[in-house]
Structure 1
Amino acid sequence: MASKMLMGDMPELMENILKHLNNEIYSLYSCVLVNRHWCKMSIPILWQDPFSIIRKSSFIPIYFSSLGEDEKLVIKECLKEFGINMEFSKPLFDYARFLKILNIYLLEQKVKGWFEWMRLKLDNPFLLHYDLRTTPLITLTVKLFLESGAILHEFGLYNSEFLKFELEIFRSLEQNEKFFSRLQYLSLNIISNFSIENIAKLLIVLAKNTTKINTLRLVFHSDESKLIHTLSPALIRFIKSQEQLRKFIFDGDDGPTEFYGIISALESQKNSLQEVTLEDCVFSEEFEILNNCKNLETLRILDCDTELLKILDYNISTLEISHYDVLIIIQILEKTGILLQRLKIKTAIVIWEESLLLKALKSFCPNIIYLYIKDIGLSTQLLELIGNLQKLQFFSLGYAYYTSKEERKIQVMQFAKILPSTLQYLDIALGIPGTLLDSFIDILLDHCNAPLKKLLISSVSLNNEKNSKSLIRYCTRIRTLNCVGIVRYYELDYDIRNELKNMLHWYHIDILLLIVKCN
């Protein structure tokens, strides 16, 4: 029967289904145990991104087992120096060949985690700690990936203590051109103690072997302009070698003042570039080149120089901005106008500036469908703005002003009633838990008629029977909700947690457990 099911298109269909479980580790493990065919389809998915996902480090020796005999001997000698004796069994699959996503920093963290786990397992307090003598554990693993036939889709290099891109690694890079041939995402976090010449060599190899990068992320952890100047020829060559760069991220960290043509090189990508993120950058005429990118849709400007903000045209639909000067933000909103659909503002707003900001949003940006705003009060102006945004679908609010209890109650009721019928996603977990909206969640939910599909809320809001029952009443009254995200879910009272879980499951509503929520 099983053989008949696997005839025709069934294997291909099953493979496509299993690919959608790439982040469901336990589900994939279960699939591995079904039969030989499912195992062969599930294993490559499980091993394409082993370092990014939440997973114990115990799988690391499986890679060591795939090394050649000479490399295994090096690993054994390295571990023996730390009092760890290990024998390697023959692996069932060529696991290294399945790798598609590699971040050197995360690889190091997994190897380090496994090493420390071995120390604890052996329960020997005299065993030495992980240090630079364990470099072969990293370099030989990277070499294994290069020589296994793996073809990467994503690659990240960040603050590597142990991997200095030794000569042996470069030989493997040059001999295995397919390793980067399908690379789509590249992240380089460059610090001053890197071997800059080797990073330049890496960029030359990349420019030669891949032209399909769609996302490039550059982070310079140094304020030395010499660092950027040294790498600029290789970076310019690499950027110009790409055929369809769509997303560019530049984090200046300490704010470089010179870019030596790196930003200007984006001229070669003006027809494909769709999204740009600039963080900790100061003014440079090079950034004016972004005004030539006619397909640019998304712009994120985080903690950048005021002069830089002024030179951009902002013919975009998505804007994220973090800046201390609200008046500058207002000028940008006026430039973007009716084109703006998605807006995220991170700034410290004082009361008089809040009024100006809300007035600008109402006047210039009526087509917003996504709005994220923090540190703001439920003022009459905010309510007018929400009522004016007739296309609003996603709203994240961080309410931060203390008013009298009675006044807050009235504000929350008005806020609930004004939420538009287009709204599908409401996040009210941005504020400080236990203070502002939390006391009136029952008022909010009992008066809300918006057909929400997703609601994000803090555990403090639900940690009493009155508020938790109001959520159930909302689910009964408005039958559109399919997901509730609860920040610090496990801080809920045990009985309330169980009652919520049972009731939400009854309505087929998923619970998203947000232990820590970062914004």
Structure 2
Amino acid sequence: MACSKLFSGDLPELTYHIIRYLGNDLRCLHSCVLVNRFWCRLAIPKLWEDPFSTSWRVNFCHHFLDIYFLLLSEEDKTREKEFGKYEIDHRMNSFSFNPLFNYPIYIKTLNTYQLKLHVINWLAYLEQTSNEPFVIQNDNPYPYLSLIMTHDKSTANLDIKEKSLKSRGMISVLCVLLFKLFITNGASLNDLNINICRNVEYYFIEVYTLILKNPNFVSDVENFTLIFPYTDFPINSSRDVILRSFLSLFTSIKKQTLSLNFIDNILLTNNLTNLIQSQANLSSLTITASSIFMTDAFRHCSKTLTFLKFNSCYFIDNSSFHGLRHLTQLKSLHVIECLRLNHVIQPLLDIPTPLKINSLTISCKITTIVPLQLLFQKIGPYLEHLELGIYNNIMREKALESVIEHCDKIKFLHLSNLNVIDNPRLFKLITNSSDHLKYLTLEYNNFNLDNKADSLEGLGQLLTGTLEYLNLNLHFNPGSLRTFLNGYRGGRIKKLIIRNRNYNSTLDTSNALKDFVKTKNLDYLSYRIENEYYDDNVIHVLEELIKEILIYVKVKNYEDLIVKITDFDA
């Protein structure tokens, strides 16, 4: 078929699909740009669909923002008198080339937080290089230690960097100019993530007014995220008019994410409820809120909604969720760190027809187990992907027993907050799912494996040949991981992830891993220590380990290998 298309003149079509298939593989896309002009014209739009999601690199002397700012109109370049004060105009005039493409028109994904992040880093870079010569810096002094965990301090560092900027008054100016650049060049977004931050007055009014005059910029948005992270952001009447008019532009949303800290604001609640109700094709809804009143909004998307996620919600009023009993097409339900879970479960139990949920997350405090047991009974024949994180030992014990009794087709299993007392039920559940289980993640809470090596060995003997992915988050003591790996009797695992909360066992662990990857023919390995402080011996051991095992297995970051339950949602 492929050969016939080549000789029938469909090579451009095939090449186009090849380029699109590469997705976000930036390295391959950059290589495609260098093949020839035809490939370059196909790869460039893909490379520039979502530039703001890339990480800032301190060792780059050029940045994609430079290209964007080169394309600003002369009016926008000259009207900002502050540009000269902060060396911005000097930066813009320092490039002697003209861009080859209309890069702004290609943008499809825009996250306002990421946009601001890059603007701040760009301004900080200008201030730094205007005072001192540019020096290439290495972000990671230990290139082989990409698997070691370090806490994410990006938000804190961003706040510090923003406050230290002499040119921080230019942040909003440049953000607005970028929006104007995209709009005036005819861009049309598919994904939009709006994060309403504190210093938003100028940004809020000018950007949204600009979009209201150019609705085509957001008329095709299918994935929409709105984040209000602060409780002290006022929604007055004038802002309400702008917000209501802005939200009315969205008519094609399929995936909607709302993160709110003050949903009890009547104006905002009404606007967001109307937004949900107005979407004829809404298939996915994620809500994060301190308290939530959804009235009957769910009834309006009953025929299309297949994915529903609640995160950190306080379900105040049971009557607010009566609309859930209309969600007969629901396939995925995820409830994380929420209170009064039964307000969500009971309406689903009232659905008279079969509820074919195949993906379920319950990770929160539970005060009564009966509704959850009834839910497992109702969806058991269809459930394939399960994540449980129940804190109370008794509730977790009864939940596991219910899963064992009613759910025998589990392919993906993620269990957190486990204790040693859960092992008998855990082993029984794994045995019960042995014909289907492909993905297993186990996270033990304060689990110390001293004198429990037999339990870990027993786990290794239970895992069968169907298993493709194993993620263990444990406090490994010397000898315990070796006991598990030596006891493993299953088939070939494609991805093995070890998250060790005891870095003192590094030497013994490294030898065990080295022996295991030699014999089990893994595809990928990630080894991560849950500690940000390392002595020289630990660093040396891990460096040598990764050097030795690279000939047997591909070593990746934890984030690159992690498999989440939501990965299975269409």
Which TM-score bucket, shorter chain as reference? 0.7 to 0.9
Aligned length: 490
Q: CA deviation at 1:247?
A: 0.4
**Deviation per CA, 1:8-62, whole angstroms, max 9, x where unpaired?**
3222222222223332223322222222222221211111001112244822121
Question: TM-score normalized by structure 1?
Answer: 0.84
Change (3 A) 1:128 1:188: closer
Select the residue among 376, 397, 408 that pairs with 1:355: 397
- What amino acid does structure 1 have at the position aligned with 2:259? V
Structure 2 residue 239 is the aligned partner of structure 1 residue 207: no
The residue aligned with 1:507 is: none
Separation of aligned partners in 1, 2:364 and 2:115: 35
1:12-411 to 2 correspondence within 5 Å?
12-56=13-57, 58-75=63-80, 77-84=81-88, 85-88=90-93, 89=95, 90-123=98-131, 128-160=165-197, 161-162=199-200, 164-165=202-203, 168-190=206-228, 191=230, 192-193=232-233, 197-198=238-239, 201-208=242-249, 210-222=250-262, 225=264, 227=265, 229-252=266-289, 254-256=290-292, 258-259=293-294, 261=295, 264-279=296-311, 280-284=313-317, 285-306=319-340, 307-313=342-348, 315=355, 316-325=357-366, 327-328=368-369, 329-330=372-373, 332-350=375-393, 352-376=394-418, 377=420, 379-390=423-434, 391-400=436-445, 402=447, 405-406=450-451, 408-411=452-455
Contact 2:124 2:165 in 1 (8 A): no
The range that moved more, 133-142 or 103-112, is: 133-142
Q: Are the aligned partners of 1:96 and 1:145 in contact in 2 as well (CA < 8 Å)?
A: yes
Q: TM-score, normalised by structure 2?
A: 0.77
Unmatched segments (≥5 aa) in structure 1? 505-509
Note if contact 2:388-2:415 (Cα within 8 Å) is conserved in structure 1: yes
Q: Deviations over 1:72-108 (max 9, x none)?
A: 1134x22323355333453221111000001111101
Residue 78 of structure 1 contacts residue 134 of structure 1 at CA under 8 Å; is this kept in 2? no
Deviation at 1:388? 1.3
Once residues 348 and 517 of structure 1 are traced to their aligned partners in structure 2, the CA distance between those partners, rounded to angstroms, is 26
1:301-339 Cα deviation digits (max 9, x unpaired):
122232424523263221111222274354543454333
Shift in Å, 1:404: 6.6
**In structure 1, what residue type is equivalent to 2:347?**
L
Identify the range of structure 1 (143-152 vs 12-21) with the bigger mean alpha-carbon deviation: 12-21
Name the counterpart of 2:148.
Answer: none
> Taking structure 1 as reference, are residues 325 and 410 closer, same or farther at Cα in structure 2, changes over 3 Å only?
same
* Structure 1: distance between partners of 2:387 and 2:189: 33
Aligned AA (2:77): K
**Cα drift, residue 517 of structure 1:** 9.2
Q: Is the 1:412–1:443 Cα contact (8 Å) retained in structure 2?
A: yes
Task: Answer whether contact 1:487 1:516 (CA < 8 A) is retained.
Answer: no
466-475 or 59-68: which moved more?
466-475
Q: 1:144 to 1:393 in 2, by over 3 A?
A: same
Instruction: Answer whether contact 2:29 2:43 (CA < 8 A) is retained.
Output: yes
Supply the AA of the counterpart residue of 1:414.
Answer: G
Cα distance in structure 2, aligned partners of 1:207 and 1:6: 49
**What is the CA RMSD across the aligned residues, in angstroms?**
3.2
Q: 1:474 to 1:291 in 2, by over 3 A?
A: farther
- The SS at the match of 1:301 is strand
Q: Shift in Å at residue 268 of structure 1?
A: 1.5
Distance 1:45 1:399 in 2: 42
> Which of 500, 509, 517 does residue 472 from structure 1 map onto?
517
Please report how far the alpha carbon of residue 361 of structure 1 lies from its aligned counterpart in structure 2 after TM superposition: 2.2
Cα 1:193–1:402 shift into 2, 3 Å: closer
Q: Does the C-alpha gap of structure 1 residues 511 and 349 become closer, same or farther in structure 2, counting only changes over 3 Å?
A: farther
The offset of 1:425, in angstroms, is 1.6
Instruction: Sort the Cα spacing of 1:289 and 1:14 in 2 relative to 1 into closer, same or farther, 3 A.
Output: same
CA distance in 2, matches of 1:326, 1:298: 23
2:397 partner amino acid: S
Output one character per residue of 1:191-211: Cα deviation in whole Å (capped at 9) or x when no partner. Answer: 442666446535534534x43
Three-state SS of the structure 1 residue aligned to 2:45 is: helix
Structure 1 residue ranges, 4+ long, deviating more than 6 angstroms after superposition: 515-519
| CA shift digits 1:464-510 (9 cap, x unpaired) | 4530233234425xxxx433233359955222211110122xxxxx3
Deviation digits for residues 274-317 of structure 1 (CA, Å, limit 9, x no counterpart): 01111213233121211211100111112223242452326322
Look up the SS of the partner of 2:86 in the other structure: coil
Greater alpha carbon shift after TM alignment, 154-163 vs 368-377: 154-163
Report how far residue 245 of structure 1 moved: 0.3
* DSSP 3-state at the match of 1:267: helix
Distance 2:283 2:165 in 1: 47
Is the CA contact (8 Å cut-off) linking 2:66 and 2:92 kept in structure 1?
no
Higher mean alpha-carbon deviation, 394-403 vs 456-465, is at: 456-465
Provide the residue aligned with 1:444 in structure 2. Answer: 485
Give ranges in structure 2 of 5+ residues lacking alignment.
1-5, 134-163, 350-354, 531-537, 565-570
Residues 139 and 163, structure 1, Cα contact 8 Å, conserved in 2: no
Is the Cα contact below 8 Å between 1:488 and 1:514 reproduced in 2? Answer: no
Amino acid at match of 1:375: N
User: Does the C-alpha gap of structure 1 residues 302 and 467 become closer, same or farther in structure 2, counting only changes over 3 Å?
Assistant: same
SS where residue 348 of structure 2 aligns? Answer: coil
